Structure 1
Amino acid sequence: MNEQRGQWGSRLGFILAAIGSAVGLGNIWRFPYTASSNGGGAFLIPYLFALLTAGIPILILEFAIAHKIKKSVPGVFGSVKNGLQSLGWIQTFVSISITVYYTVIIGWSMNYAFYALSSKWGTDTSGFFFGEFLNITDSPFNIGHINKGMLLALAAVWLINYFVLSSGIKAGIEKANKIFMPLLVACLVIVAIRGITLEGAVQGLDYFFKPEFSKLSDPTVWLAAYGQIFYSLSICFGIMITYASYLPEKTDIVNNAFMTGLGNCSFSILAGMTVFSVLGYMAAQQGVSVAEVSAGGIGLAFIVFPKAINALPGMNGTFGAIFFLCLIFAGLSSSMSIIEVIVSSIQGKFDIARKKVLRYIIVIGFLISLIFVTGAGLYILDIVDHFVNTYAIALAGLVEILVLAYMVDLEELRSYANGMSDFAIGKWWIYTLKYLTPALLAIMFVFNTYVDFTKGYEGYSLKALMVYGVGTLVFIVVGALVFNRIKGEDEKNNQISRGDAV
């Protein structure tokens, strides 16, 4: 079949798509809490340091090698060395594992955007979320029944992804991000302006930005900064390699990487200002400290923020709907990029028509995601998310960096990137990739593993962690090995391209 490989129509389209992928739900509900609990304004120092010494160097690496080889993720690693396709398939199956629960959270946001108009969650936002909305059971193994109230929104998320992705790169992903990203920024700015004009907003912003420089001597703060960078930049699990493989021949790799990294960072800071200005108002109304109402993760979005929306002096419904629209746009721009990794990998392997591959992915993905809209769905989602991010992405990222840093001529790749860019990167780029970044990734992996094995995770039983957490890791590895062994169209040309690719 050999369909022509897609290509971005403009540099702006690629940048918006790359930033759209990096800017996800975690920027809104994870970064603000991580920053405030790790030194406030002082956290920006290790965060920016991590961005410059790990985030952007990896972006440049993934952009450059993908642009040079122009294949799917398995194809890129297979071109580096025969047999390394399995690493690309591991990253593809990581994307599969993320997609099936990420779409569920976007569906929740759609429901809550409508609920906000009438404050359907009432005064007991926690009870509503866990009870009436999720119908949560008492354990991860008490599956309960499928929550029909979530099905429509979940189906809508998968269908939106299908219609966008079926149109291809230029007419689909690029066009969608040119709509979603401006809308996301506009919605967030509206919420931010409303937030900072509220009584008590100054206290919230002070809590967010006030630097605790003593925290900088704590190694866990630096690990948290690097963890946030890896969590939020969409690196090391196939997205940026896939997106960069669609770049035209002449493109500014270095500038693209810096704009993507700094754009993501700027959005995170704006999201932090938005969240903590509203939390400051909420704290002032209750007569408590900002720390007492501060929260991160799903609890911030679906429990704490609805409570804050209730307390607003006016236009509660409009404000709430706009906030959840932020989550929807951020989620959709990220989910499109994750699904594109899967589409690109399978299409490249088997040379099947794009829409046919996409239909299989959407149907199978939707069916798998149904487990997350059962009574035990939140438990399973929490465990799977933790294991995928803590172990699968971290370990796949570590292996990727080691493979590309020591099996690819980085000096040649640096010259390749510099030859197309407005400003050049120095040898510091090579040193960070060969020594600093893999060392920090290894430390993070060991530290998180130690914490999990000594303290457990969120009080879940060992059985639950093994079944849902380790089970997901087994699924990723076994799936990758199976697909790696299947002979596809990409292997026919691999030997030819390998000699010239890297």
Structure 2
Amino acid sequence: MSINSQSDLRLSGSNNRPSNRRNSQNRPFTEEVKTTYKRSFRDANSIYPPFCRKLDLNVSDYIPEGDIEFPFEDIDDVGDENKIRGNWSSRMDYLLSAVGFIFNLGNLWRFPYYCRINGGGSFCFCYIILMLIAGVPVLLMELALGQFPSMGCLSVWKVVPLFKGIGIAMFMVSCIVCIYYSAFAAWAISYFISSFKFALPWATCSNDWNSIKCSVWNRDNVASCFLQNGTLLRNGSCLIDKEYLSGNSSVLEIASFDVDEHVLPSTEYLHNEVLLMSNRFDKINPINWHLALYLLTAWFIVFLSAFKGVKSSGKAVYVIVIALYMVLFVLFVRFLTLPGSISGLIYFYTPTWKFLADLTVWGTAAGQVFYSLLCCTGGLVTLASYNKFHNNILKDAWILCIVDIMTSLFCGALASSAVGFLCYELEIPLERFSFKGGAQLVFVYLPEAIAKLPVAPIYSILYFAMITAIILTTMNITMETIVSAICDEFPERLRRNHRHVLAFTCVIFYVLGIPLCAAAGLYWLLLLDYFTTTWTLVLLAFLECMAISWAYGVDNFLDNIKWMIGFYPPPYIVWKILWKFVCPFIYLALLSLAWFAYKPVEYEKYKYPIYAEHIGWGISLAPLIAIPVTAVVKFCSTKGTFIQRWLDLFCPENEWGPALAIHRAEYYPLQIPEARRLILPPQKERTNGYDGLIRSNEIIGKQKVQTDSTSGTYIGKMTSLPAFERETAI
């Protein structure tokens, strides 16, 4: 039957609603529908998808004929495919947003540190291997989970209702990450504003916040002072008058820079000026209200960028992400031109192969993979949920994997070249340099190296603009994850009030972030970062993999991917083995290593009190407790016998599937009322007496049905088909 024939339309049913009709060659999945029918017409139950397993269907053989027109949604290439929820304006918006999401602080302040202390190139080898066999599978799984039903991290677990607690755990982890990332954004904004001064405030020891241990050591100034037979002082000045030195005890000379006795001015600037840092975990006051104001600025920027959802944030990343990599490249090239940078680069990436035999190195590399990709936080699920249904997520997964590996290696090269130059200036060997990761690498060592450059304020402005953009981009996507999850869970009430939910959430998170601006804020930040984004993500990945591969079924999941991209991810058997056996085993092994090699959190020489460790474990376990609690609540609220409840909770809900009816009808048209009217013969007798279209009546199974003389189709009595209540753009 031709889809453009009016007589054929009358034959196909009585659906008179207007529709935007197109030629079949412009609709790539029309042939897929015909192929599906020809393959499965002998077994009518096979017409129904795996997510209708609970139906007891007794359907006779049904043979469709001809092409089928679906007048459900207008899915032209122009505009959104999903008119209600919205889509990315373009695929490039989505890819750049995903790149901005995975280019986070983990690439810049964790990877260089772990690489330095775990054998350099050996750690890079472990990182790449684990990225391929443990990172890419969970990355593809989350992209497919989000894109197939077009839902956020909470609603997507309609696929296996018993494990909806995994989505709640992801939601809670995203909330914690967003709160403490905002404090780092306030730090970066503070540094960015201070960079506009003629002389960088962390370049000297002559400020009010500097202590007696603050020491400035510049190789050129030292050589010049010694040539004049002078005495170098801790503040970096050269004293020629020996009598003044002997008569003034407040002036301290320095013969060499000792990393154990002397303190960099950038360290004291962070501790004493920016943070007003206390010396204890429990000493909260005072709150740095300048930092609280910068925190408010960060949240205001996030609110503006997410005001129109993915439409506004997608356009912002065009400039931000490209600028990030440009600034990163400029800084790296500048450091390469400095003495000592090449030595630092070689020392950093030279492999020490004995570390490959250390299981803790593999565990650390795996933790870095999850922290770098930010898997199991719901962000990747949310990003993919705004894709068009037939977007190639397999290609996206490999692109993001390669970009993440290259970004991590590039950030490691930047840090190693800067540290190499810093060691050259301080005249200390690379192996004696006390290399530390985390906040000290980003806010102490790299700013210290930049302060020693000519026209240092310009490079400092570029550097802290990059740091601010990295943090705000991650916050923006994480915030979109949280708001989308809430709106998708309560679409009738909250979807139209997206901006109100966004504003309310930003205000709540700002209030919760103010204590992180207190004197003990640094200790709390490190505690949250240490206990939230390490083994918790690995455990969530294990549970997610088990729920999809074993409860929902890895074959069903691969069928869903084929539904979206048109083919199974090659090679089929490899992905099946990875998701069912290899990945769960790796995640369990990594959990064992993480717990076996656990070390109490500490900052420099300060060790956290015992109750702080208990607080950290409580924060870490809070998202995980939601998983069994939600399972119990779901079980108690489900009707039926004990066995039936378990079976129902392991089966997907009726709402699980493509969001749009036209995509459901591509493979399972008998589920969709509009499609049924087009392919099923009418069950109510119609007579016209003139056009001769209806020639005979058949009695099958004591039910009168109409048949067209040209079709010769017979259909038996059918049970009622499920009507999907999922909100679509029909």
Question: Structure 1 length normalisation: TM-score?
Answer: 0.92
Tell me what 1:220 maps to: 360
Tell me what 2:612 maps to: 464
Q: Describe the superposition over 1:245-299 as per-residue Cα deviations: whole angstroms up to 9, x where unpaired.
A: 1110221111100001111111111111111111111111122222415321101
CA 477–58 in structure 1, closer or farther in 2 if over 3 Å, else same: closer
Structure 2 residue 244 is matched with structure 1 residue 128: no
Greater Cα shift, 393-402 or 330-339: 393-402
Tell me what 1:476 maps to: 623
Distance 1:254 1:298 in 2: 35
Which structure is richer in relative contact order (CA contacts within 8 A, separation 6 or more)?
1
Tell me what 1:101 maps to: 180
What code does the residue aligned with 2:321 have? M
What code does the residue aligned with 1:76 have? V
1:104-115, aligned counterparts within 5 Å? 104-115=183-194
Distance 1:251 1:315 in 2: 46
Query: Shift of the alpha carbon at 1:443?
Result: 2.5
8 Å Cα contact 1:279/1:293 also seen in 2: no
Query: Shift of the alpha carbon at 1:484?
Result: 10
CA radius of gyration, larger in: 2
CA 335–59 in structure 1, closer or farther in 2 if over 3 Å, else same: same
CA 423–398 in structure 1, closer or farther in 2 if over 3 Å, else same: closer
Counterpart pick for 2:344 among 188, 194, 204: 204
8 Å Cα contact 1:391/1:445 also seen in 2: yes
8 Å Cα contact 2:133/2:578 also seen in 1: yes
Tell me what 1:451 maps to: 597
Tell me what 2:294 maps to: 153
CA 308–67 in structure 1, closer or farther in 2 if over 3 Å, else same: same
CA 167–100 in structure 1, closer or farther in 2 if over 3 Å, else same: same
8 Å Cα contact 1:21/1:334 also seen in 2: yes
Counterpart pick for 1:401 among 508, 525, 545: 545
8 Å Cα contact 2:371/2:533 also seen in 1: yes
What code does the residue aligned with 1:406 have? W
Tell me what 2:520 maps to: 376
User: How many residue pairs were aligned?
Assistant: 490
1:175-194, aligned counterparts within 5 Å? 175-194=315-334
CA 148–311 in structure 1, closer or farther in 2 if over 3 Å, else same: same
Q: SS at the partner of 2:391?
A: coil
8 Å Cα contact 2:275/2:288 also seen in 1: yes
Q: Describe the superposition over 1:88-117 as per-residue Cα deviations: whole angstroms up to 9, x where unpaired.
A: 111101100111110110111111122234
8 Å Cα contact 2:164/2:631 also seen in 1: no
Structure 2 residue 533 is matched with structure 1 residue 389: yes
Greater Cα shift, 390-399 or 366-375: 390-399
1:270-349, aligned counterparts within 5 Å? 270-291=410-431, 292-312=433-453, 314-349=454-489
What code does the residue aligned with 1:208 have? F
Q: SS at the partner of 2:654?
A: helix
Tell me what 2:654 maps to: 496
Counterpart pick for 1:39 among 119, 140, 154: 119
8 Å Cα contact 2:267/2:444 also seen in 1: yes
Query: Shift of the alpha carbon at 1:422?
Result: 8.5
What code does the residue aligned with 2:155 have? G
Distance 2:337 2:567 in 1: 41
Q: What is the percent sequence identity of the aligned residues?
A: 26
Distance 2:116 2:96 in 1: 28
CA 161–321 in structure 1, closer or farther in 2 if over 3 Å, else same: same
Distance 1:500 1:304 in 2: 49
Distance 1:276 1:214 in 2: 21
CA 483–150 in structure 1, closer or farther in 2 if over 3 Å, else same: farther
Structure 2 residue 322 is matched with structure 1 residue 163: no
Distance 1:304 1:371 in 2: 26
8 Å Cα contact 2:190/2:274 also seen in 1: no
Tell me what 1:69 maps to: 149
Q: SS at the partner of 1:121?
A: helix
Q: Describe the superposition over 1:452-501 as per-residue Cα deviations: whole angstroms up to 9, x where unpaired.
A: 3xx4222211111223x1342455357785899699xxx9xx84224889
Distance 1:500 1:121 in 2: 55
Distance 1:111 1:382 in 2: 19
8 Å Cα contact 2:121/2:349 also seen in 1: yes
Query: Shift of the alpha carbon at 1:397?
Result: 2.2
Structure 2 residue 505 is matched with structure 1 residue 425: no
What code does the residue aligned with 1:39 have? G
Structure holding more helix per residue: 1
Greater Cα shift, 371-380 or 386-395: 386-395
Query: Shift of the alpha carbon at 1:7?
Result: 0.9
Structure 2 residue 99 is matched with structure 1 residue 55: no
Distance 1:338 1:213 in 2: 38
8 Å Cα contact 2:280/2:520 also seen in 1: yes
CA 11–423 in structure 1, closer or farther in 2 if over 3 Å, else same: farther
8 Å Cα contact 1:254/1:425 also seen in 2: no
Tell me what 1:237 maps to: 377
Query: Shift of the alpha carbon at 1:5?
Result: 0.9
Distance 1:41 1:228 in 2: 15
8 Å Cα contact 1:89/1:484 also seen in 2: no
What code does the residue aligned with 1:466 have? H
8 Å Cα contact 1:122/1:128 also seen in 2: no
What code does the residue aligned with 2:126 have? P
Distance 2:134 2:561 in 1: 17
8 Å Cα contact 1:254/1:418 also seen in 2: no
Distance 2:625 2:542 in 1: 19
What code does the residue aligned with 2:444 have? I
Counterpart pick for 1:140 among 278, 281, 290: 281
Query: Shift of the alpha carbon at 1:429?
Result: 1.9
What code does the residue aligned with 1:435 have? F
8 Å Cα contact 1:143/1:377 also seen in 2: yes
8 Å Cα contact 1:56/1:257 also seen in 2: yes
Distance 2:110 2:657 in 1: 43
CA 479–52 in structure 1, closer or farther in 2 if over 3 Å, else same: closer
Q: SS at the partner of 2:338?
A: coil
Query: Shift of the alpha carbon at 1:424?
Result: 3.5
Distance 1:254 1:60 in 2: 7
8 Å Cα contact 2:554/2:580 also seen in 1: no
Distance 2:518 2:448 in 1: 25
CA 64–13 in structure 1, closer or farther in 2 if over 3 Å, else same: same
What code does the residue aligned with 1:497 have? E
Q: Describe the superposition over 1:24-57 as per-residue Cα deviations: whole angstroms up to 9, x where unpaired.
A: 0111111112122222123222211111111111
Question: Structure 2 length normalisation: TM-score?
Answer: 0.64
What code does the residue aligned with 1:8 have? W
CA 339–202 in structure 1, closer or farther in 2 if over 3 Å, else same: same
Query: Shift of the alpha carbon at 1:307?
Result: 1.8
Q: Unmatched 5+ residue regions in structure 1? A: none
Q: Unmatched 5+ residue regions in structure 2? A: 1-81, 205-264, 638-648, 665-730
Distance 1:437 1:424 in 2: 17
Tell me what 2:87 maps to: 7
Q: Describe the superposition over 1:380-407 as per-residue Cα deviations: whole angstroms up to 9, x where unpaired.
A: 1111111111343232222112212212
Q: SS at the partner of 2:84?
A: coil
8 Å Cα contact 2:96/2:318 also seen in 1: yes
